[in-house]
Each structure stands twice: as structure tokens, then as C-alpha cells.
Amino acid sequence: MERTLPHSKFEIETFRIAIRRFSRFALGLFAAWLLLSTPVLAAKHSKDSLEIVQNRVTEKKAVLIDVREEKEWKQGHLKAAKLLPLSHLERGMSTEKLKEFMPKDKIVYLHCASGARCIEAAELLTDLGFEVRPLKPGYDAFIEAGFEEVIP
């Protein structure tokens, strides 16, 4: 014996509306989760030109930190730069060790091969309380701008 329940058109339409509203709500929740779970890089590239950077480094008003990896450094690096690979920052370094690279009384510029890793490094260092300026131009642009290159 099969039992059927009669449903009015009103009940069916109310159910459809409820399903649509729930679908929109669930989609909104998913969109919010997606936005909140995606990392947002707050650091922005410095607007300082390479000429300004070079002058400040030469005048010892700034330090230049290379966040490329050691393998890249060994293939050639800027004479004025110090090596602090992004991978070392990601693994964690003591604040005291980092202070050796980044004196508080100087501007700290970060550079890499293309400008992307220095943004990541800037995020990590800013979270640790350091004020840094990531540079957008890549390594080759520094050479073209007249920075002295060391090829071991």
C-alpha cells in the first residue's frame, strides 16, 4: 500500500524558494571562505628608483639584501648585497640574527631575481617587526643600472 501526501502548489513553491535561498546562502559562505583562506600579500614594491637605491647604499644610508637562494648567489650577485635566502626566512631565524642583516638606523632594501620573492620575504620580515622595502626590478635590472656584479 503506497501512501501519497498531497502538496498544494503553495507548499511546493515555498519549498523551491527555500532551496534557492539556501543555495545562495551556501554559495555566499563558500565565497567568503575562499576569500578569507587565500593569502593576501600586504607588502608592496618600493617606488624608489635603482639610482636612489644605489646612492643610498653607496652613502651607507641603506643596506641591500638578496633573498635569492645560495645556488643563485654563487652564479653571480651584487657586490653591495648581503645574502639572506627566502628559504632561511621561511624556516625561521632568530631576531638577533636578522638584526645583523638589518640595522634599525638604515633603510633595508630587498631584491631577488624578478621581484616576487622579495615581496614574500617582506611579508615575513614585517610580521617580525622589521621595516623593509622590497624592490620590483630583478637581478638583471640591477646590473643594467650599474650595480657591480661579483661572479665567483
pLDDT in tens, 99-142: 888 888 899 999 999 999 999 999 999 888 888 999 999 999 99
Q: Which CATH architecture has domain 50-150?
A: 3-Layer(aba) Sandwich (3.40)
pLDDT in tens, 14-51: 878 878 887 787 777 777 666 665 444 457 999 999 99
Distance from chain centroid for Cα 91 = 16
111/121 Cα distance (integer angstroms): 9
Q: What is the pTM of this model?
A: 0.71
Domain boundary assignment for the chain: 8-38, 50-150
104/113 Cα distance (integer angstroms): 25
Q: What is the pLDDT of residue 5?
A: 59
